[in-house]
Amino acid sequence: MKESREQIENFPKEQVRSAIRAGIGQAEEQMKDHKISYKYSHRISNRKRKGLYALSSVAVAFGLLVASSYQSPALASTLSQIPIIGSVFGDSNSVSLKQAQKNGLTSQIGETQTVNGISVTLDEILYDQNGLSLGYIIKSEKKLGEYYFGAGMDFTINGKSPDGSSGSYGEKVQSATTRTAIQEINISEDMPNSFELGLILHGKNGETWYFSNPIKKITDIKKVPIHHSQNVDGITLNVKELSVSKTGISISYESSEKGEDFELSRAGDIEFQVVDQDGKKIASHSGGAEGQRLKDKLVFKSNKKFDPINSHVTELTVTPYLSLPTDGGGVEFDEKGESKDIGFKGGSLKSVKFKSFKVKISE
């Protein structure tokens, strides 16, 4: 027991750290001459290659640390608390993002900005028919509070803010000081196939992180015109088109209803159920809707997202429906990222029944 205790007390922590750094450097030197070809630009390819270096190096370092942990139970306990983060998209619960990452359709960035002891890494970006998906890693020297980053990143397209957008932002806690985040952005206006994406993240204590990267929309997106319209109980629904790619499908639509209060409008609560010709339901991932007031009407635009479909799918049956809120209000963020509670007003809203329609994917 005495010998074991001495090994723990005399465990060469600094030597291990130095060995890890040396292992990483050695792995990078050994792989410098290997050329890897990727779909995106040379700069992104280089960044992706660096990611592969890090992955190989971690394998070397991890082997060294595991061997050392046999001598040091204290070190083993510390290792068990270290979050292992790979691709943010690959580690997510989203089938679409996993599929995109697996097929090499994402732009690998890996750029880190550190402000006030908080490091934000823009990990990867997906630009498909649904809009933009951003994955980032956040590491802080101190524990971060809830809603520290508000509703996620603000963005620009070629230096300009779009007229309207919607989306979602969610974080996954990896440890007390580390979290990953995925932000989905749906943009209602027509977007170019490639552009310079500017991203700005604001922290609760006034910090600002800025990123700028050229991005390009994935190819092989099939668009199926629909032009289906119906009016039910004062709600007008116009479904424009359905888009299909390896990352999933999306339904683009516009809806409207007379009124002035967005919280009392049902036109912004439209969702779709989609099943294929064999009766298999395609999982939906909803997505926000951008609304604006035009004269006496509230008008909404959105793209609703769904999981990828198999190549054997030839026809889809689409059923619109209302997903009305049942309780509790929500949280609203201002331009500074400050949050405030919103009271619930929708308890009196009545549902309606829309008609189903079919969409031919291929003959």
Instruction: Give per-residue pLDDT as tens, 219-246.
Output: 999 999 999 999 999 999 999 999 999 9
* DSSP code at position 47: H
| Angle separating helix axes 13-30 and 42-69, nearest 10 degrees | 140
Task: Assess whether pLDDT exceeds 90 at residue 23.
Answer: no
Q: Considering only CA atoms, which of 100, 99, 98, 90 is closest in space to residue 51?
A: 90
Neighbours of 109 (CB within 10 A): 23
Q: Summarize the confidence of residues 102-111 as an average pLDDT.
A: 92
Q: Looking at residue 87, what is its pLDDT?
A: 83
**Which residue did the predictor score with more confidence, 322 or 347?**
322
Following DSSP, what letter does each residue of 79-92 receive, concatenated? HTTS-----TTTTS
| pTM beyond 0.75 | no
The answer on 106 and 74 residing in a single domain is no
- Neighbour order of strands in the sheet with 118-128: 107-115, 118-128, 131-140, 178-187, 165-173
Q: 142 and 113, same structural domain?
A: yes
Q: Could you tell me the pLDDT band of residue 287, with boundaries at 50, 70 and 90?
A: low
Of 249-253, 345-349, 353-357, the least confident:
345-349
**Are residues 134 and 259 both part of a single domain?**
no
What phi and psi, each to the nearest 5 degrees, are found at residue 155? Answer: -145, 160
Question: What whole-number distance in Å separates Cα of residue 43 and Cα of residue 171?
Answer: 28
State which amino acid sits at residue 56. Answer: S
Q: Quick one: pLDDT at residue 34?
A: 35
Write the pLDDT tens digit of every residue in 302-325.
888 899 998 899 999 999 999 887
Number of domains in the chain: 3
Do 229 and 354 share a structural domain? Answer: yes
Residue 336's domain is classified under what CATH number?
Answer: 2.60.40
318 burial via Cβ count (<10 Å: 0-12, 13-18, 19+): buried
Q: Give the max Cα distance, the chain.
A: 83
254 with 295, same domain? yes
Distance CA 121, CA 137 (A): 5
CB 313 within 8 Å of CB 298: no
Mean per-residue pLDDT, 92-103? 89
Q: What confidence tier does 161 reach under pLDDT thresholds 50, 70, 90?
A: confident
C-alpha to C-alpha distance for 304 and 287, rounded to whole angstroms: 6
Q: Count of H helices and E strands in the chain?
A: 5, 19
Least confidently predicted of 210-214, 257-261, 322-326: 322-326
Give alpha helix (H) positions in the chain. Answer: 2-9, 13-30, 42-69, 73-79, 95-102
* Whole-number percent of the chain with pLDDT over 70: 69
Residue 85 lies in a domain: no
pLDDT digits (tens, 9 = 90+) for 168-190: 899 999 998 999 999 998 876 67
Burial (CB count within 10 angstroms: exposed 0-12, middle 13-18, buried 19+), residue 301: buried
String of b and e for 189-218 (b: at least 16 CB within 10 Å)? Answer: eeeeeebebbbebbbbeebebebebebbbb
Local confidence band at 349 (pLDDT 50, 70, 90 cut-offs) = confident
The answer to whether residues 7 and 58 belong to one domain is: yes
Question: Can you give the pLDDT at residue 186?
Answer: 82
Residue-level pLDDT at 357: 96
DSSP tag of 264: G
Residues 207 and 233 in one domain: no
356 shares a domain with 226: yes
Distance CA 153, CA 199 (A): 6
Residues 6+ apart with CB under 8 A from 195: 157, 158, 214, 215
Which tokens belong to 242?
């359905």
Do 205 and 263 belong to one domain? no
Higher pLDDT, 273 or 287: 273
Domain end marker among 216, 243, 261: 216
Q: What pLDDT shows up at residue 6?
A: 42
Query: Is 230 part of a structural domain of the chain?
Result: yes
Domain end among 216, 242, 275: 216
Query: H or E stretch including 302?
Result: strand 297-306
**pLDDT, mean of residues 320-342:** 70
List the domain range (segments joined by +) for residue 187. Answer: 95-216
57 within some domain: yes
So what's the pLDDT on residue 4?
Answer: 38
Helix (H, G, I), strand (E, B) or coil at 98: helix
Asked whether 250 and 269 are in contact (CB, 8 A), the reply is: no
